[in-house]
Structures are given as C-alpha cells and as structure tokens.
Chains A and B, each alone.
Chain A
Amino acid sequence: MQPCRLFAEELACRRGDRLLLRRVGFRLVAGDALHLAGPNGIGKSSLLRILAGLMRPYAGRIDASGTIALSDERLPLDAHRPLGAALDFWRRLDGAGAQSSDFGLEDLHDVPVRYLSTGQRKRAALACLSASGTGIWLLDEPLNGLDAYWAGVAQAAIEAHRASGGIAVIASHQPLDLKGLVVLPLLDHLP
C-alpha cells in the first residue's frame, strides 16, 4: 500500500443555505484513526463526503494522498443479485484477490442482497471496503446494526487496516474501542 496521509485545514461545510461546521482541521498519517463524534444531523456524513472529494468544501482545503474508500448508509450492491455475485462485481473492479472470510458472509452467497438484514448489509459493506485495497477508509456509522460480536470483528478489521499502513476516519455517534483513536468532537466546530 502506498503511504497515505489525509490533512484537512479550516474546513467549512455547508448544506443548502445552512453552515453546518466550520474550522475543522486535522492531520492524519499512516496508521491513524479519527473519530468524528457528534449528535445526529451535525454534518458528519457531509464532512465525510467532502473528505472523499464528492462534495466541495465551503471553505478550507484538503490534502490527501492515497486511494480513498467511502462506506456510508447506502449499500452499493445490486439488490436483486445474489450477494456473492454482487460482491464479485466490486472485487473484480478493484482487482482484489479471493473473497475474505472475515465477515461471515460465506453462507449468504446465494442470498439476494435485498433479503439481507441490516447487520448483514453492514457486513457486506465492510467486506467490499476491506477487499478494495484502498488506503484511506471513510466510514459512516460502521457499527450501526451490528451486534456486539460483529462490532468487535468490524473494529478488528479497522485495526488490521491501520496496522498495514491505512487511515480510518469514522463518523459515529457510538463510542469506539480503537487504540490511539483521536476523537474530534464536532460540537466544538459549530458556526
């Protein structure tokens, strides 16, 4: 994996006419993890989309090096296709190796994506992400819908990603149990 970094300076985030956040800044290098903390609607997801480069920041600048992956509340898998085939599409697009068995999805390969439960969908999203081979992970509520066991597995996957030189930015209203996690309370950045 190429060495990655993600620097943000003085970011401001606007949704419609409303300024959501201002003066958000951080510097992340390989192995770092950042927790964007704050209540619902504060602008966590918008901030992640800005960091992903999908939306322009209202002010400030981002300096990112490394490939970026975003996993948000939408599951980019074709609902009518069996999970295995739907995951294969991204695996082949990313030129990834064999399916990892980390998320316990083997038994669900023949099940159409639309029949998956909330937790299973989240696990499928995480499987997509970890197969993508990207350096910077942007995760929007990665533990939503996961039970205690799978929440542990998901956090272990994030740790493994960091250990291999990746960066994780996690937007969540839940507490996270990650080593050396930097918490960025977004309530401090209201306009």
Chain B
Amino acid sequence: MSRTAMSVTGRQLWLIFRRDCGLLLGGARGRGGATLPLLFFLSVAMLYPFAVGPDVRLLARTGAGVIWVAALLAAILPLDRLVEPDVETGFFDQWALRGLSEEAVMLVRIVAHWLCFGVPLMLATPIAAGLLSLEGTQLVRLELGLLAGTPGLAAIGVTIAALTAGLRAGAALGGLLLIPLAVPLLIFGAGSLQPGGEDGLALLAAASLVAVAVAPFAAGAAIRAARE
C-alpha cells in the first residue's frame, strides 16, 4: 500500500473513530450512551452497603471484589447497541466497499468503546471506593487492575456484539456470552487485590492483551459471516 493510500485510510479511520466516540459517549436514539453503565456501576456500590450492613471492616474486605463484579455486569449493558445499529443501516457494508477492512474498523470501535466505557468506570471508581470505605492502597490496586482489565472487557464486549448482531434475542444472548468469557479477567482482577497481587495484575494484563489482540479479527470475521 502506498503512503498516500495509507494516509487516506488513516484519515478515514480517524473519522470513524470520532463518529464512534460521539455515538457511544453521547448516546442517541437506540443507543444508551456512556451514562447508563456508569449509573449502574455506581448503584451497585451504593446498594451493597445497604445489603450487608455498615460494617466497615467487612466492606473494606469485600468492596473491591464487588466493584469488579459491578464493572463486569455494567459491561453487559451497552452490548446490544454496540455494533448492531451499524449492521442494520449498512455502515459496515459501506466501509467495506471503501476498502476498509472489518478488522481495522473493529479495532477502532474497541478503542472508542474502551474510552467511553472503561475510562468513565475508572473515573467513577474513587466514588465507589468511598461508598465501600476502601483504603487508599486498595483503591490504587483497583484502579491499576481496571486499567489493565477494562481494555479486555471492551474487546470481549465488541466481539460479542458483532457475533450477536442481527440475531433475535441477541441482547440476552450477549449478556450470557460475556460472563464466561470475562471470568478470567474477573479472577485475575480480584487476584490482583490480594497482598502481593502483582502476579495477578500481570496475568490480568496478559489476559486483557490476548482479548484485545484477538477481538478485531473475531469481530471482523463475525461481520463478514453475517453478510452471507
């Protein structure tokens, strides 16, 4: 590919990235936007102390794990609108006709989804940590874990969204699919919270990296397969 062709492709992907961010962040008709998962995430952190009682030691011991579970469940919420609207309206076909590979478009969408889902979650985590009376060191571990884990969560989310796009009951199926695939991230994420959890953090980052590396190809293949 020549230099000019590469710069054209880069410019096109940048335009797609900006559109993705606008749609995923702001939300629109049929797309939830970034606020719904965030509110869900914070509601879990708010409700948990009501459910188990205001025992500070218990909250501090279990709170970080609850935040991980909340993050994982919050990742289910945007699934059904992540890819499907653009399949329905033919955006993916139009991009393919312009010579943009599905893999590149999907990578862009993963980055956009992470920015609009992972980053707000990390910004809300100090609030959640306050509600669950976590200590400073735990909060730092939690944030590091989320920084390592949410890209993987976003990648898995986009893959599942691409696989279930166009299916009846795709939304329900997507939720069911995400949970087993995200379990490694949850296990390593929770593991990184333990004393001496650096190994857990490394494994979490590795699992996340594998997900990010595989997801554009799996999601791209899913979009192509859905055309036949």
Please give the residue numbers on chain A whose beta carbons come within 8 Å of chain B beta carbons, in ascending order. Answer: 49, 52-56, 67-70, 72, 74-81, 89-90, 92-95, 114
A95 vs B9: C-alpha distance when bound (angstroms): 11
Asked if B29 and A79 sit within 8 Å, CB to CB, the answer is: yes
**Chain A's interface: helix, strand, loop or mixed, by majority?**
loop
Are A89's CB and B19's CB within 8 A?
A: yes
| Bound: A78/B30 CA distance, A | 11
In the assembled complex, the Cα of A56 lies from the Cα of B224 at a distance in Å of 11
A6 to chain B, nearest CB (A): 14
- From known contacts A54-B96, A70-B97, A89-B15, infer whether A76 and B90 are also in contact, taking CB-CB under 8 Å: yes
Task: State how many angstroms separate the Cβ of A134 from the closest Cβ of chain B.
Answer: 8
Q: Does B23 contact A (CB under 8 A)?
A: yes
Interface string of B137-148 (1 = CB under 8 A from A): 000000000000
Query: If the complex has contacts A89-B15, A93-B12, are A49 and B227 also in contact, measured as CB distance less than 8 A?
Result: yes
Count how many pairs of residues, one from A and one from B, have CB atoms less than 8 Å apart in the complex: 54
B98 touches A94 (CB 8 A): yes
Instruction: Using A67-B97, A68-B97 as known contacts, list a sample of 8 further A-B pairs with CB atoms less than 8 Å apart, ordered by residue number in A.
Output: A52-B97, A55-B228, A69-B97, A70-B93, A75-B90, A76-B89, A76-B91, A81-B28
Q: How far is the CA of A56 from the CA of B91 in the complex (A)?
A: 19
Task: Name the CB-closest residue of A to B228.
Answer: A55
Chain B residues 57-102 with CB under 8 Å of chain A are 88-91, 93-94, 96-98
Most chain A C-beta atoms within 10 Å of own C-beta, residue among B19, B89, B90: B90
Query: Within the assembled complex, what's the spacing in Å between the Cα atoms of A79 and B31?
Result: 11
Report whether A72 and B90 are in contact in the complex, using a CB–CB cutoff of 8 Å.
Answer: yes
Bound together, the chains give a CA A91 to CA B25 distance in angstroms of: 23
Is B8 close to A, CB under 8 A?
yes
- Give the chain A neighbours of B91 by CB distance below 8 A: 76
A95 and B23 within 8 A (CB): no
Which residues of chain B from 1 to 44 have any CB-CB distance to chain A below 8 Å in the complex?
A: 8, 11-12, 15-16, 19, 23, 28-30
Task: Contact check, B93 vs A56: say whether CB atoms are below 8 A apart.
Answer: no
With both beta carbons as reference points, the residue of chain B lying nearest to A92 in the complex is identified as B15
In the bound complex, CA of A68 to CA of B16 (Å): 20
Residue of B nearest to A81 (CB): B28
Cβ contacts under 8 Å, B11 to chain A: 95
